[in-house]
Amino acid sequence: MGKQYPGVILRVNPGSLAEELELAPGDKILSVNGQNLRDIIDLSFAFADEEIDLLVEHADGEQEMISFDKDMDEELGVEFESAVFDGIRRCANHCYFCFVDMIAPNMRSSLSIKDDDYRLSFLYGNFVTMTNMGPRDFERIKRCHLSPLYVSVQCINPELRAQMLRCPGAAKISQQLDRLEEAGADYHTQIVLCNGLNDGEELEKTIEAIVSRRPHALSLAIVPVGLTKYRTDPFPLTQFDAEGAARVIDQVEPWQRRLQREMGRTFIYLGDEFYFLAGRDVPGTEFYDGFPQLDNGIGLTRNFINDWQKTEPSNAAYRDPVRLDVITGTSVAPVIGRLAASVNKENLSVRVLPVPNEYFGTTVNVSGLLTGRDIIRTLRSAGGERDGILIPESALRSGEDVLLDDITLNDLRRLFPGVRIEPVQSGDDYRRALTDWQHYHKDRGEETAYTWQSNAAYTKPPSP
């Protein structure tokens, strides 16, 4: 049978087939119908059969073969500790702009994992360089219909890309995109834009090359390089200032207008930070084509505003004063402040507190990278009376009430006794929290780690 890579069950869904089979967290799936499994993709296809022999190793080390019949599309109903059972493919590159290499010391070890795994790209939208992929990987992409993928392009100039990634194989980006297309895969693309390196004329060439690859190329996101105070890479990088950000917007907008005329889609999107830096409003909803790169931070602000506008404010009255502090990153603070100022509710007082990121460096200005230490420092410095504190859910680890520096929500609650602290993720959350604080509560217990769906979810054509 070859080497077995166990899939470790993290959670069993209530009412599921797995619960009926009496599987439990900690159990390990070893094989399905004699087939060893590398990841949940293998599991999905193996589990498409109606007659199943499931080899399981229980927490006590005892192995059991469980045989049963099922409907073709019936799911097992479990979540796994990892989506890949044979280990995440790590990134061996040392890119000039790698954010993982700029993580503060002594932080959670999972933050330092540099994944470059095409399977996680397909499953969860992680961007990959493709520098560690070989013929068998492209063959599997074709055989299993793994599309779309998310490709970290950076630039189309082969010499410059090899230089930026510090990897000779990175020069083969055009050939590898060809291989993806030959495998029948579509892909979203990303450029981490570095001032004076892959911008200007190089950006123009890259945009032209990606646009020419439609329809396989589905979108292009351009985000500014982020630098922390812990960066030790000797290659000099500088962040964009207001003038530089405006120059990028002005360079990209003609392409966006042209593509809107040609195909009815914008196709190319800029990270919100460019608009914040340039002092310009983020584009309207129609500009984002349904937000195909929302998980990449593209259009987060506009999506947040949309959610706010679609939410009916509560008419519940505040008989007693309600004083709320809203924690946010410095970049989006003006937007958060304007929304709060639009709430006209008697006895409600809202104070928006932008948190300078002393932990990573104040040039890091997004809410998702705030730490407990900086939040605590800002709250103590602000002083005054407060009844509630809203913190950005993006700063918490998925499925856990833990911030990047391992300070928990309970730690914050102990430091600020008598003050209710609630996470806020969407504009819907934010509006409900401000207008109906008495009843607002964000239940994060349903958040999951690695979910799995039946084979049909991978092979059916995408919805229009």
DSSP 195-231: TTTTSHHHHHHHHHHHHTTTTTEEEEEEEE----TT-
Give CA–CA dist 123/428, Å, rounded.
27
pLDDT for the residue numbered 206? 98
pLDDT for the residue numbered 103? 78
Name the DSSP class of 330. T
- Let me know if 311 is exposed, middle or buried by CB neighbors in 10 A (0-12, 13-18, 19+): middle
Share of the chain above pLDDT 90, in %: 74
Quick one: average pLDDT of 61-77? Answer: 90
Contact 141, 118 (CB under 8 A): yes
Name the DSSP class of 59. T
pLDDT for the residue numbered 107? 65
- Give strand pairing partners of 54: 32, 66
User: If pLDDT is split at 50, 70 and 90, which confidence band does 340 have?
Assistant: very high
Q: Which of 3-12, 193-202, 296-305, 390-399 reaches the highest mean pLDDT?
A: 193-202
Residue 310 in 3-state DSSP? helix
Q: Is residue 72 over pLDDT 60? A: yes
Give CA–CA dist 98/165, Å, rounded.
9
Give the domains, in start order, of the chain with CATH numbers.
7-80 (2.30.42.10), 100-298 (3.80.30), 312-434 (3.40.50)
Contact 190, 153 (CB under 8 A): yes
Quick one: average pLDDT of 199-223? Answer: 97
Contact 56, 80 (CB under 8 A): no
Q: Is residue 106 over pLDDT 90? A: no
Give CA–CA dist 280/313, Å, rounded.
27
pLDDT for the residue numbered 446? 47
How many other CB atoms are there within 10 angstroms of residue 203's CB atom? 20
User: If pLDDT is split at 50, 70 and 90, which confidence band does 445 have?
Assistant: low
Q: Taking all residues of the chain, what is their mean pLDDT, rounded to a whole number? A: 90
Q: Are strands 187-193 and 217-224 parallel, antiparallel or unpaired?
A: parallel
Q: Is residue 108 over pLDDT 80? A: no
Q: Is residue 112 over pLDDT 80? A: no
Give CA–CA dist 197/201, Å, rounded.
10
Token digits of residue 438: 């008495």
Share of the chain above pLDDT 70, in %: 93
User: If pLDDT is split at 50, 70 and 90, which confidence band does 364 have?
Assistant: confident
User: If pLDDT is split at 50, 70 and 90, which confidence band does 208 have?
Assistant: very high
Quick one: average pLDDT of 184-195? Answer: 96
Give CA–CA dist 55/32, Å, rounded.
6
Peptide bond into 148 cis (omega under 30): yes
Beta strands across the sheet bearing 217-224: 149-152, 187-193, 217-224, 268-270
* Angle between the N-to-C axes of helices 300-310 and 333-341, in degrees from 0 to 180, rounded to the nearest 10: 10
Quick one: average pLDDT of 303-318? Answer: 93
Give CA–CA dist 285/327, Å, rounded.
25
**Cα angle vertex 171, ends 166, 175, to 5°?**
145
pLDDT for the residue numbered 444? 62
Beta strands across the sheet bearing 322-329: 348-355, 322-329, 388-392, 420-424
pLDDT for the residue numbered 294? 87
Give CA–CA dist 327/341, Å, rounded.
15
Q: Where are the alpha helices (DSSP H) in 264-383?
A: 272-278, 300-310, 333-341, 372-382
Give CA–CA dist 456/60, Å, rounded.
34
Q: Is residue 56 over pLDDT 90? A: yes
* pLDDT single digits (tens) 220-249: 999 999 888 888 889 999 999 999 999 999
